[in-house]
Structure 1
Amino acid sequence: MRILHLSDPHIGKDGAVDSLRLMLGELRQVRDVDAVVVTGDLADDGATEAYATVRALVGDFARPLGAPVFYTTGNHDERSAFAKVLGSGHPEGAVAFPGEERAAVSEVGGWRFVTLDSLVPGKVYGRVGAAQLEWLRGVLSTPAGHGTVLAFHHPPIGLALSATQRVFGLREAGELAAVIRGSDVRVLLTGHYHLQLCGFLASVPVWVTPGIVNRIDLTTAPGTERAVRGPSASLVELGGAEGPMFHTFHARDPRAHELVYELDEERTREIIARHG
């Protein structure tokens, strides 16, 4: 199973469409992709038009590959606009979560794809509620042919050297860990941090793919944060003798490494206090 993993296009932000087009153009030579997963922040401000743009661009890329596309919500997304354009976030035939959250389950080549909705409206951090967790427990009660891929926006892990990751990730990650422990979940795919990161939750690999719209540069002083230009994406390979394997693609952006924003310690503390 080869999964192209994208996240955080933030369509609506200045230059975001160009970054997504550039990244997809750079990936045109990638072959044997079985599925495409886009883990949230599709829109920067929840506009319906942004979801239509993402669907058109990513759909045009995935169609020649014969690869289904799976979308999740992120903290910048708006559920009703997401649903209006993308439904559950899965292709037709998916089994959707019976609630307002955009969660669903599908099968591709014996692999089960489950997307969750970690959006907490108005907040930067994420949460997967009790109803979704109970639904997920039921889904996982029957093993899939090859295993399960679980995708959502907010990582349940974070780097201590980042001023924001420990605050802005998934809350109550232990509750999710209790559901997936001992199950057939083979990997958790997430985004949100705009940089690549790998860790574990309940012995399951967690992969954080870098962002499309920009990437976070952690070579700054402690307590500060800096974002620079340069879209990235990932290829995830499952089922092989050495898997899971994670590979990151970086677009050849002529503006790569140009500063997008930089926050000093005071501003970073203010943002954490407001959204934490």
Structure 2
Amino acid sequence: MRILHLSDTHLEKTDAPNKYGVNATESLRLMLAELRHLRGVDAIVVTGDIADGGAVEAYAAVKELVGDFARPLGAPVFYTTGNHDERVAFGKVLGSGHAEPELVLESGAGERAAVSTVGGWRFVTLDSLVPGKVHGRVSAAQLDWLKDVLGTPAERGTVLALHHPPIALGISATQPVFGLRNPGDLATAIRGSDVRLVLTGHYHLQLFGFLAAVPVWVTPGVVSRVDLTTAPGTERVVRGASASLVELGGADGPLFHTFHARDPHAHEPVYELDEGQVRAMVEREA
């Protein structure tokens, strides 16, 4: 099983630079163009923050661009919501996030979780969006549903995808606060199951860890990357589109590889947050 993992495209309503001067549509086009020689991809997973402001036009643009890339590969595309997404607009364009889901959960809160199978591998997407917040949470309704789904093992195993990572790097000023708020609940739901991998985004940098002995991979963002070489308590975001390739099922797997687009503006600062700005953001999440 070979998975192309994208996240944090942050497209705007129009094909124009955002308030930081970055054209998110061009970043996605550049990344997909750099991947044009990629072959043998079985599935594409896009783990949230698809539209920066939740515009229908942004979802439609991502669906078209990623769909055009996926079509010659014959690879299905699976989408999850992120903290920048808007559930109603997401649903209008992307539905459950699966083109032909086998099972869908639509909770009373409007959350969407779905299941599809590719080559014996079960793909499950969850909705960790908390409206108005940067951090994420997987609701009790989704966790109960997930436990029922995992009660029957898949032929090859399960790949779980959501936006907010259940792991965090301590040197980051924001990750411990902005990640998934209830990783222990998710760990309980997947412990002892056939989940072989958890795919997430949100942090705009690559990160690997474990949850309940299950590998967790955080792919860097398409629109930009976070640079953690700044002073403690501060944060810098730089230019540069990235994506990941994940291989499962082999003797050495899972294997993870990160692609970085050849961007002449790569590593140029997009914005920097000083200690006061970071502190204010963290306090708003409390």
* Band the TM-score falls in, shorter-chain normalisation: over 0.9
Match of 2:5 in 1: 5
- What CA deviation, in whole Å up to 9, does each residue of 1:145-168 have, x standing for no partner? 000000000000000000000000
Deviation at 1:94, TM superposition (A): 3.0
For 1:239 and 1:76, locate their aligned partners in 2 and report how far apart those are by CA, in whole Å: 33
Match of 1:242 in 2: 252
For 1:153 and 1:39, locate their aligned partners in 2 and report how far apart those are by CA, in whole Å: 5
For 2:174 and 2:102, locate their aligned partners in 1 and report how far apart those are by CA, in whole Å: 35
For 2:47 and 2:148, locate their aligned partners in 1 and report how far apart those are by CA, in whole Å: 22
Match of 1:81 among 64, 72, 89: 89
Match of 2:272, SS? strand
Match of 2:157 among 139, 147, 151: 147
Residue segments in structure 2 that go unaligned for 5+ positions in a row: 13-17
- What CA deviation, in whole Å up to 9, does each residue of 1:194-253 have, x standing for no partner? 000000000000000000000000000000000000000000000000000000000001
Query: Could you state the TM-score of these two structures normalised by the residue count of structure 2?
Result: 0.96
Match of 1:261, SS? strand
Deviation at 1:93, TM superposition (A): 3.8
Match of 1:61 in 2: 69
Structure 1 runs (4+) greater than 4 angstroms displaced = none
Comparing 92-101 and 55-64, the one that deviates more = 92-101
Match of 1:132, SS? helix
For 2:102 and 2:265, locate their aligned partners in 1 and report how far apart those are by CA, in whole Å: 39
Identity among equivalent pairs (%)? 74
Match of 2:15 in 1: none
- What CA deviation, in whole Å up to 9, does each residue of 1:72-120 have, x standing for no partner? 0000000000000000000124311132212100000000000000000
Match of 2:204 in 1: 194
For 2:277 and 2:8, locate their aligned partners in 1 and report how far apart those are by CA, in whole Å: 23
Match of 1:175 among 185, 194, 200: 185
Could you tell me which amino acid in structure 2 is paired with residue 6 of structure 1?
Answer: L
- What CA deviation, in whole Å up to 9, does each residue of 1:113-141 have, x standing for no partner? 00000000000000000000000000000
User: Over aligned residues, Cα RMSD in angstroms?
Assistant: 0.7
Query: Could you state the TM-score of these two structures normalised by the residue count of structure 1?
Result: 0.99
1:154-165 alignment, distance < 5 Å: 154-165=164-175
Match of 1:51 in 2: 59
For 1:79 and 1:150, locate their aligned partners in 2 and report how far apart those are by CA, in whole Å: 19
